[in-house]
Amino acid sequence: MEYKLGLIGYPLGHSLSPWIHHEFLREAGLSGSYEKFEIAPGESFEDRISGFIESDIRGFNITVPYKETIIPFLDRIDDKAEKMGAVNTVLIEDGKLTGFNTDGSGYVRSLETAYPDLIANRDQKKVLLIGAGGAARGIYYALAATGYQMIDIANRTLTSAEKISQLTSEARTEVLSLAEAERNLDQYDIIIQTTSVGMEPESEISPIRPTKLKQDVIASDIVYKPLETKFLHDAASLGARVHHGHTMLLYQAQLAFEIWTGHKVPCEELAMQLKKILE
Ligand code: ATR
């Protein structure tokens, strides 16, 4: 089988996904391709989707700004993606489209691959999520579904954090202001920075400034440009174990590739290569 895969979004300038999926195809010994399909504002989204169904594409990823736009065009949507209200992966089988969301579960897989000691004690770990946008939503839901039972959310806008906390009753959650979270940072075993603060070109800022951290804390940032955000830098200087954003990108891709091809390609080697590219 020839796996024709791709990415829909706009703009797609320097997406790393084609590189990642070509590496996966090569690793899995499969033939195929992964192309970028930009849909510019003003173009008919519906026409482009019909075009994909008529061609023999196996599936595609969807990124900004179409993760919600795609939903009415799907024949089926998996529970997680439905709960998220956002789809990042579509599988096409016999002309029928099924939507998935691998962002949150990809994040959890990346975290637990880096720190497997978490797996046996998920229910005892106190997690702080910083931010309450689309990324935080996916991560919160996936953490709760995996067995993390204490997940607080700190955000500039409290109402968005409260909405996320209502997604599931599987975790106990307190909603905090950023200032409150900063004061209580040493209570947490895992601190996950999900806001866009810290992305280029303002890489010197951080939504939270750590001053005191719990021993063995894991500080995680989903931003991968720059790889070493101000938040990670500050946390590392206080002794935190760090978890970089590029691995989320890889593991959400790994899960999508599994949906399309049934192959689970190991990512450890690729994570090191990608880190070098981004450093
Ligand atoms: P994504 O879908 O990538 O998560 P998003 O939905 O735009 O992006 O969410 C951005 C997150 O970054 C939000 O938590 C946002 O806080 P608000 O909900 O208060 O808007 C946070 N954010 C963005 N700029 C910020 C800033 N300057 N200071 C603090 N938080 C910020």
Distance CA 165, CA 147 (A): 15
Q: Which amino acid is at 119?
A: I
Q: Which atom of ligand 1 is nearest to the CA of 161?
A: 18
Residue 200 has pLDDT above 90, yes or no: no
Residue 17 assigned ligand-binding role: yes
Catalytic residue status for 67: yes
Residue 15 assigned ligand-binding role: yes
Distance CA 218, CA 243 (A): 7
Distance CA 121, CA 139 (A): 18
Per-residue pLDDT, 203: 63
CATH 3.40.50.300 fits 2-101+248-278, yes or no: no
Per-residue pLDDT, 201: 65
Residue among 160, 163, 195, 231 whose CB has most ligand 1 atoms within 8 A, to mutate: 195
Per-residue pLDDT, 88: 98
For residue 270, CA distances in Å to 27, 116, 157, 242, 277 come to 10, 18, 36, 18, 10
Q: Which amino acid is at 217?
A: V
- Please answer whether residues 16 and 227 qualify as being in contact, where contact means their C-beta atoms are separated by less than 8 angstroms: no
Q: Which atom of ligand 1 is nearest to the CA of 130?
A: 14
Counting Cα atoms < 13 Å in the Cβ hemisphere of 117 gives 8
Distance of CA 163 from the midpoint of ligand 1 (Å) = 14
- Please answer whether residues 256 and 267 qualify as being in contact, where contact means their C-beta atoms are separated by less than 8 angstroms: no
Pocket of ligand 1 (CB under 6 A): 131-136, 155-157, 160, 194-197, 207
A 10 A CB-CB count for 82 gives 15
Residue 163 has pLDDT above 70, yes or no: yes
Distance CA 36, CA 18 (A): 7
Strand order in the sheet with 2-9: 31-38, 2-9, 59-62, 89-93, 96-100, 76-77
Task: Give the chain's largest Cα–Cα span.
Answer: 57
Residue among 156, 175, 199, 204 whose CB has most ligand 1 atoms within 8 A, to mutate: 156
Residue 14 has pLDDT above 90, yes or no: no
Distance of CA 194 from the midpoint of ligand 1 (Å) = 8
Torsion sign over Cα 195, 103, 216, 232: negative
Per-residue pLDDT, 68: 97
**Fold match, 2-101+248-278 / 105-244:** yes
pTM of the entire structure? 0.95
Above pLDDT 70, what percent of the chain? 99
C-alpha 222 chain-centroid distance? 7
Q: Which residue has the tokens 């970028």?
A: 36
Q: Which atom of ligand 1 is nearest to the CA of 136?
A: 4
Residue 252 assigned ligand-binding role: yes
Q: Which residue has the tokens 């026409």?
A: 47
Catalytic residue among 67, 96, 275, 276: 67
Average pLDDT over residues 178-191: 97
Report domain extents, the chain. 2-101+248-278, 105-244
Per-residue pLDDT, 206: 83
- Please answer whether residues 109 and 116 qualify as being in contact, where contact means their C-beta atoms are separated by less than 8 angstroms: no
Distance of CA 162 from the midpoint of ligand 1 (Å) = 14
Residue 59 assigned ligand-binding role: no
Distance CA 150, CA 34 (A): 38
Instruction: Please report which confidence band the pLDDT of residue 155 belongs to, taking 50, 70 and 90 as the band edges.
Output: very high
Distance of CA 133 from the midpoint of ligand 1 (Å) = 6
Residue 79 assigned ligand-binding role: yes
Distance CA 226, CA 216 (A): 24
3-state helix, strand, coil split of the chain in percent (to 5) is 40, 20, 40
Instruction: Return the CATH number of 105-244, one of 3.20.20.70, 3.40.50.720, 1.10.10.10, 3.20.20.210.
Output: 3.40.50.720
ipTM above 0.90, yes or no: yes
What is the residue with the minimal CA distance to atom 9 of ligand 1? Answer: 133
